[in-house]
Chain A
Amino acid sequence: MNIRQLSIFLENKVGRASAVIDALSESNINISALSIADTAEYGIMRIIADNPQKAKDVLTDTGVMVKITNVLAIPMGHKPGELSRLLKILTDSDISIEYMYAFVNEHNGGAVLITKTNNPEGAIEALGKNKITPLTENELF
């Protein structure tokens, strides 16, 4: 029930992010969500896109360091209190979040939380008890 995310190493130089996005655009890859973790020296760009394997190959060919990482895509309503409820479920099960970002998903009129936790199986189990099932890649796109 994991989905694949692209984790991309970005040097802290003008034009690096743009080069990555251009390469994906030229290969007709559609991006659903994106976030950047940055430090003074470099960044990690995280992307949810259709066809992650093709995206990885395209980026590797252009000399970008990229890895595919498994993350959870958790559906939620697009209204106040929803994210708070999800986080409480995870916290109550003692699950730590490494990172997260969210986006509104027109597809089902709701929103999606992308997260990597220290315990994906535990997270799925805890969410299941609350009748929440993480999305598959097919459901997402």
Chain B
Amino acid sequence: MWNKEIETMPREQIKALQSERLVKQVKRMYENVPAFKARMDEKNLKPSDIHGIEDLSKLPFSYKSDLRDNYPYGLFAVPMKDIVRVHASSGTTGKQIVVGYTENDLEVWADAIARMLTEIGVDANSFIQVSFGYGLFTGGLGAHYGAQKVGATVIPMSTGNTARQIQTMIDFGTTVLFSTPSYAMYLAEEIEAMGVKDQLKLKVGIFGAEPWTEDMRKTLEDKLGIKAYDIYGLSEIMGPGVACECTAQAGMHVWEDLFIPEIIDPETEEVLPAGKSGELVFTTLAKEGFPLIRYRTKDICSINLEPCKCGRTHLRINKPSGRSDDMLIIRGVNVFPSQIEEVLLKVSNNAITPNYQIIVDRVNNTDTLDVNVEMSESMFADEVRSIERTEKQITEMLRSTLGIGAKVHLVNPKSIERSEGKAKRVIDNRKL
């Protein structure tokens, strides 16, 4: 184990550590984050009312919209001179959300990933190919620093150029692959087609950033000759490594010295007991730059308190089974229907948003995104080039807003199916 003392800490001790950290963090946020203080004041709460984790449910929730309202740095709890890195991800509107890290936050993040890597047999002798995107997305750099932390040889490939990815695996002797599961499926198929499986030294795959199934796991393990592990994370809380599987492959451990997970009923906001499925809520305990209290992830899953075979005492969460909002994860990128709506509103010059429908599918293991847009009076013209201009404008704006390509289809007015007068916005044909 990377940190045996922490990873096998008796649960009573974990709870004591959480209480101590929570009390300190609430005080620090109250003093340094005006938006948090305002939320506390609304509830007539003072930091002195919080004595430990038993008081957690008294604390106000925080939401993705808080990040938008305080864009870009309004929720940071330290001066900007102490922030050494920012990352960003999709917001519910065109504006992205920004998260910040202190030097220590980056250390803690790398450490969280190092705990996982050590458990699944990755060490200084490993060659880790990071095929998550590098850049503002937390995947690439998050995995990178975790891999470096265990002393492995890091191959910072980023995404794309499949032929080169495979050649690199062969030539550099890659033993561990970090990627999205759908990209791994694509790689696996190419490797099969090229007939080069024998030349690979792959032993372990760590896949995350989008939903995948047990069937996909089995296929990946067979085709690549690896053990495939799930990793969970979200930028707001840290990035990949918030929760990760162990060799038992039966749920992802949440490092409870760093985070408190809760499951709530998204409607009543009541905290649910272990085993019950509901919305996952996180409180960070060790983050300096951008701490969050009771952050609503909108992911639906359940908590498992049973002791794990691997010997770790930290609880596990099950693979999220869905979302309590309308967010889609397409090719690892978070997409909200409202972002698409915003683009269409701009194209129609802020007149009436044309009716639209989003169709997501998975073809040859790659997610596809099609957007049907009902033709409106203002979009239609007698000339082909004018319609093509509109179509191209929508396509380009979607690409720059969403960060992934979408195929736009202009369709007849009122042709998108409506139920009770409301158009069905999203059709997800992926079997996940």
A residues apposed to B, CB below 8 Å? 5, 7, 9, 11, 16, 37, 39, 41-42, 44, 46, 63-65, 67, 69, 98-99, 116
Contacts and interface: CB of A to CB of B under 8 A. Distances in A.
A117 to B, nearest CB: 12
Contacts, number: 47
B108 interface: no
Contact of A44 (B382, B411, B415): B382
B384 A11 contact: no
B392 to A, nearest CB: 11
A101 to B, nearest CB: 13
B1 interface: no
Given A9-B375, A65-B375, A44 B384 contact: yes
A59 to B, nearest CB: 10
Contacts of A39: 384, 388
A110 B236 CA distance: 74
Contact of A9 (B380, B388, B409, B414): B380
Nearest to B372: A11
Contacts of A67: 377, 380-382
Contacts of A37: 384
Contacts of B384: 37, 39, 44
Contacts of B34: none
A63 B410 contact: no
A44 B413 contact: no
Contact of B410 (A42, A64, A99): A42
Nearest to B391: A41
Interface string B395-432: 00000000000000111111100000000000000000
- Say what secondary structure dominates the interface of chain A: strand
B387 interface: yes
A41 B383 CA distance: 14
A2 B411 CA distance: 30
Contacts of A116: 382
Contacts of A64: 412-413
Interface in B354-385: 375-377, 380-384
B415 A7 contact: no
A9 B410 contact: yes
26 contacts: A5-B382, A7-B380, A7-B381, A7-B382, A9-B375, A9-B380, A9-B410, A11-B410, A11-B415, A16-B412, A39-B384, A39-B388, A41-B391, A41-B409, A44-B382, A44-B383, A63-B412, A63-B413, A63-B415, A64-B413, A65-B375, A65-B377, A65-B412, A67-B377, A67-B382, A98-B383
Contact of B413 (A42, A65, A98): A65
Given A39-B388, A41-B391, A65-B375, A11 B382 contact: no
B412 A9 contact: yes
A65 B380 contact: yes
B415 to A, nearest CB: 6
A9 to B, nearest CB: 5
Given A39-B388, A44-B384, A63 B411 contact: no
Contacts of B410: 9, 11, 41-42
A57 to B, nearest CB: 14
B388 to A, nearest CB: 7
A46 B375 CA distance: 17
Nearest to A16: B412
Given A63-B412, A63-B414, 8 more contacts: A9-B375, A41-B409, A44-B383, A44-B384, A65-B377, A65-B380, A67-B377, A69-B382
A65 B412 CA distance: 6
Give the interface centre of B383, B412, B413, B415 by most chain A CB atoms within 10 Å: B412
Contacts of A44: 382-384, 387
Contacts of A42: 387, 410
B409 A99 contact: no
Nearest to B375: A65
Interface in B203-219: none
Contacts of A5: 382
Give the interface centre of A7, A39, A41 by most chain B CB atoms within 10 Å: A41
A46 to B, nearest CB: 8
A1 B275 CA distance: 78
A52 to B, nearest CB: 13
